[in-house]
Amino acid sequence: MSTQTFDNRDGWIWFDGQMVEWREAKVHVLTHALHYASAVFEGERAYGGHIFKSSDHSRRLKESARVLDFEVPWSVAEIDAAKAEVLKRNHLVDAYVRPIAWRGSEMMGVSAQHNKIHLAIAVWDWPSYFDPAQRMKGIRLDIADYRRPDPATAPAMAKAAGLYMICTISKHRAERRGYADALMFDWQGRVAECTGANVFFVKNGVIHTPIADCFLAGITRATVIDLARKRGFEVIERRILPEELGEFDECFITGTAAEVTPVGEIGPHAFKPGAVTAALVDAYTQEVNPRTKAA
């Protein structure tokens, strides 16, 4: 991964319909999104020049914006085309893709109905989210202090910038304690997700995952559930309590950045990446690779 800071790179960013040199893609310090978190975004990956489930992500971006009471003024097809264009312009085939939409600086205050809505798309080389040497051994997760909020108090179904504040705090704390990430509970104290990935558990060959009603039901999550069922695995979406963690055999997390990553430890609970996890790591790798699918 490049050691350059993200504001000082060569390349191009798609910004409100124009290709802008990377270092010139700027916003004003009084941009509403910076002060009031009025921004939504997506995290996507391109494999072999193909952005995996691009339209699903574009649709979710627009829906997240509607939840935050604004409309992204580009269609799903236009956003898909822009992502493909910026990938090609930067000469990347395997890359991370980050579209972000936000309220601009016309009004400063909580109320901002007339602010211009902006959209930018950046792409960059981003290999495995976790240390490759540790990834297949199973990463270590801390247990976060903060909990995912009650969906009656926050727009939990949007991929909104403000919802990640407690994720950053929790991940920083986990990393200081020597963990790769943190598991978060929901507002009622039940297992929810990690700071940027959904979580799955395996017991006696059956896969269990929390019901996604107070956190984002990830596109990777849905993909992995589908892949698991197609391979004959039973997948149960249910409430999972913290006291159950010691009863599971395997654990893994899913997300665009994490892909499918085995977990070896959550706080005091140990897991051993096994056959189910290995099968889904392989299945997902095959699913996202256009060369494999074409063959």
Active site residues: 159
d(CA 247, CA 97): 37
d(CA 180, CA 142): 8
Label each residue of 98-157 as H, E or C: EEEEEECCCCCCCCCCCCCEEEEEEEECCCCCCCHHHHCCCEEEEECCCCECCCCCCCCC
d(CA 20, CA 216): 31
d(CA 102, CA 118): 5
Residues with Cβ within 8 Å of residue 205, at least 6 apart in sequence: 233, 234, 276
d(CA 201, CA 28): 44
